[in-house]
Structure 1
């Protein structure tokens, strides 16, 4: 998915999700009544926040245990991201978003989604930082072993000594 495709999808979701939520409110309200529908939404939000609190703390504890063992807590990080997403969905008023949020609070669902997201990220993402680049493609070419030796440059004129450069900001150098 590229950025040109993602913006219309987000816009469409911002239009369709509220319409679907309104339709669901009307349908459920017609089926069980207005007051029970509001009580259901509030009850699901409270249940979701309680589950979010308990599962979030458990995930944080598991991540700390993994780091204590010297392991990267990849599964715990993806779990945590899905728990945060579930919390956002649970706080959003609506029955459909509550149902999706509750679904994300099921550990088996989170693990399956986490594996799928990790698999997708390894094949489609390229990480680059300041002067360094890393991707998740594995290289299986030959390994060439050797020795490296640091070579220090020798000063070739009188201005090469430390603190005697052309900058007035470094070590009392000359200003012209």
Structure 2
């Protein structure tokens, strides 16, 4: 979704949820509507507790290691998203949550999301370890550190007199 559509979506979703409350309330009554909302919250809390935050930590760890999160992480991640959608009061978010629990919908989402994953090699961050052969990191392996050691002749800074951020005052 484009970011320019985000404010429109953020405005229309609550209005659609309110309309859903009105429609369901007229069809089944106030008590049943409130019971459905509470049931959705309880179901979402149960799903979130079952999956927990551990799946988000696993996905983050795989992303940091440079591997693409696989399908085995997709199912628990979709459960977490569905749980959060169930916790949000409203029937449209509950319908989206139910759709996320269907395996065929998950497969469709995986096919569309997997194309957009970009895996970056964690070793190519633009920094390199020292090329001196005598350099060793704390682990004892040469070139194992991500520290760049610069000497005075490697880096020096000369002030730019034309810069507006130089030490000149405005009246000078």
TM-score bracket, shorter-length normalisation = 0.5 to 0.7
Secondary structure of residue in 1 paired with 2:92: helix
What is the alpha-carbon distance in structure 1 between the residues aligned to residue 12 and residue 77 of structure 2? Answer: 24
What is the alpha-carbon distance in structure 2 between the residues aligned to residue 52 and residue 107 of structure 1? Answer: 18
What is the alpha-carbon distance in structure 2 between the residues aligned to residue 76 and residue 121 of structure 1? Answer: 17
Structure holding more strand per residue:
1
Structure 1 vs Structure 2 CA RMSD: 3.6
**Which residue of structure 1 lines up, in the alignment, with residue 25 of structure 2?**
29
**Which residue of structure 2 lines up, in the alignment, with residue 96 of structure 1?**
92
Provide closer, same or farther for how the CA distance between residues 72 and 35 of structure 1 changes in structure 2, counting only shifts above 3 A: same
Question: 1:79·1:114 contact (CA, 8 Å) conserved in 2?
Answer: no
**Which residue of structure 1 lines up, in the alignment, with residue 39 of structure 2?**
43
Deviations along 1:53-80, whole A, 9 cap, x unmatched? 44x37x96xx8xxx9xxx9761122323
What is the alpha-carbon distance in structure 1 between the residues aligned to residue 46 and residue 125 of structure 2? Answer: 42
User: What TM-score do the two structures reach when normalised by structure 1?
Assistant: 0.55
Structure 1 runs (4+) greater than 3 angstroms displaced: 51-54, 125-133
Quote the offset at 1:9 in angstroms: 1.4
Q: Select 2:70's aligned residue among 74, 85, 97.
A: 74
Quote the offset at 1:49 in angstroms: 3.0
Provide closer, same or farther for how the CA distance between residues 19 and 128 of structure 1 changes in structure 2, counting only shifts above 3 A: farther
Question: 2:43·2:83 contact (CA, 8 Å) conserved in 1?
Answer: no
Q: How many residues are matched?
A: 123
Question: 2:47·2:79 contact (CA, 8 Å) conserved in 1?
Answer: no
Larger radius of gyration: 1
What is the alpha-carbon distance in structure 1 between the residues aligned to residue 36 and residue 3 of structure 2? Answer: 33
Which structure exhibits the higher relative contact order, with contacts defined as CA atoms closer than 8 Å and separated by 6 or more residues?
2
User: What TM-score do the two structures reach when normalised by structure 2?
Assistant: 0.56
Structure 2: 5+ residue runs without aligned partners? 134-150, 154-172
Alignment of 1:1-176 (within 5 A): 6-54=2-50, 56=51, 74-118=70-114, 120-122=115-117, 125=118, 127=120, 131-132=124-125
Quote the offset at 1:105 in angstroms: 2.0
What is the alpha-carbon distance in structure 2 between the residues aligned to residue 114 and residue 48 of structure 1? Answer: 22
Structure holding more helix per residue:
1
